[in-house]
């Protein structure tokens, strides 16, 4: 299957006149090995784990998010390839459209395959990688169990931890926003998005807009 054909499923599921998601274009980054993890409150909260390969993003939905604890094996369901431009997408997918809800760039960086090229390793059902992200670092492995089901597991190294990173580091690495703040800024469903944020996380009381620019207001309302 060509890389352009690998984006056909992505294209068929979306109406690009109704979603802000990038179109199905095959391209490459300067490094050629970008990765991104997007926190996505759609019908359910999940994390989308994506690795660049052949001009597209190989993608898995991880319901509970990646865990840096080597004893925790996270289910990762393979989904359709996404265009590389999707690695920069943070915002709102219109309700009623496929994946309707709020999307956050939860982590991103580069990766290095540890056991050959990505495509060959995936075909064999085991891909070992080193992640160089803001939150996720060190050695990891994706192991296929059956069909579309994979496991995402952290290897034991100096970056291993028993900290629940989904709770300790819940905001965007790009804008520092919570899911609720992204929804508030982009016209999404704030209540739905907020259900994907950890309980008790500080959030802006409102957002003032001045000449097309956003200014966050925390706690008490601004006197302006």
Tens of pLDDT, residue by residue over 68-78, are: 999 999 999 99
Q: What is the per-residue pLDDT for 28?
A: 84
Domain boundaries, the chain: 3-169
Residue 143: C-alpha distances to residues 78, 88, 131 (Å): 11, 26, 16
| pLDDT value at 221 more than 60 | no
Residue 106: C-alpha distances to residues 31, 149, 172 (Å): 20, 22, 5
CA distance 12 to 46: 22
| pLDDT value at 212 more than 90 | no
Residue 128 contacts residue 121 (beta carbons within 8 Å): yes
CA distance 90 to 211: 22
Task: Name the pLDDT band for 4 (thresholds 50, 70, 90).
Answer: low
pLDDT digits (tens, 9 = 90+) for 125-164: 999 999 999 999 999 999 999 999 999 999 999 999 999 9
Mean of the per-residue pLDDT values of the chain: 90
| Rounded mean pLDDT, 111-137 | 96
């Amino acid at each position: 299957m060509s890389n352009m054909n690998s984006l056909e499923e992505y294209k068929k599921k979306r109406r690009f006149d109704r979603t802000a998601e990038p179109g199905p274009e095959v391209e490459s980054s300067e490094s050629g090995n970008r990765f991104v993890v997007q926190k996505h409150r759609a019908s359910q909260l999940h994390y989308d784990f994506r690795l660049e390969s052949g001009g597209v993003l190989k993608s898995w939905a991880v319901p509970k998010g990646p865990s840096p604890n080597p004893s925790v094996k996270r289910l990762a369901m393979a989904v359709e390839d996404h265009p590389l431009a999707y690695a920069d997408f943070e915002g709102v997918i219109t309700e009623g459209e496929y994946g309707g809800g709020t999307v956050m760039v939860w982590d991103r960086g580069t990766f290095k395959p540890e056991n050959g090229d990505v495509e060959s390793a995936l075909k064999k059902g085991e891909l070992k990688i080193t992640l160089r992200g803001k939150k996720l670092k060190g050695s990891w492995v994706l192991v296929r169990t059956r069909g579309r089901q994979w496991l995402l597991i952290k290897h034991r190294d100096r970056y291993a931890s028993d900290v629940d990173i989904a709770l300790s580091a819940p905001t965007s690495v790009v804008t520092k926003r919570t899911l609720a703040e992204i929804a508030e800024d982009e016209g999404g469903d704030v209540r739905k998005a907020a259900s994907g944020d950890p309980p008790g996380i500080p959030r802006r009381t409102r957002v003032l807009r001045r000449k097309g620019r956003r200014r966050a207001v925390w706690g008490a309302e601004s006197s302006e």
